[in-house]
Amino acid sequence: QKFTAVIRMLAYGSSADQVDEIARMGKSTVLESLVRFCDAVETLYTRDYLRRPTPRDLQRLLQKAESRGFPGMIGSIDCMHWQWKNCPTAWQGDYGNRKGQKSIILEAVAGFDTW
């Protein structure tokens, strides 16, 4: 039940107040569950994905890029638009995309071995 509340908050941009009524939990319980979930994700993925590259990582990335014709490149910047269905009215002018939808842009540096 707590996991469902957390996923609902993250997926739909729902506030703890909205979710607590659906999940029948207190707002503080929902927020505590969100923090615990995010801490668990960080603990699980930091070692492999959420860290700075080591000198060995950089060397491997540079060698792979050079073998593919991109000397000196360690990654590329990529962007992904996520539609924001519950964008607050006051922010809609700042978050509109070319299709007239509201979206948030996630920008990340990706290597050849990341998706």
- Residue extents of the structural domains in the chain: 2-45, 55-110
- CB contact set of 41 (below 8 Å; sequence gap of 6+): none
Question: Which of 5, 40, 58 is CA-nearest to residue 16?
Answer: 5
0.75 exceeded by pTM: no
Question: Which of 4, 6, 109, 24 is CA-nearest to residue 58?
Answer: 109
Sequential pLDDT tens for the chain (115 residues): 888 888 888 887 778 888 877 778 888 888 999 999 999 999 998 887 777 888 998 899 899 999 999 999 988 888 888 888 888 888 888 888 888 889 988 888 777 776 4
pLDDT for 2 equals 85
pLDDT for 87 equals 84
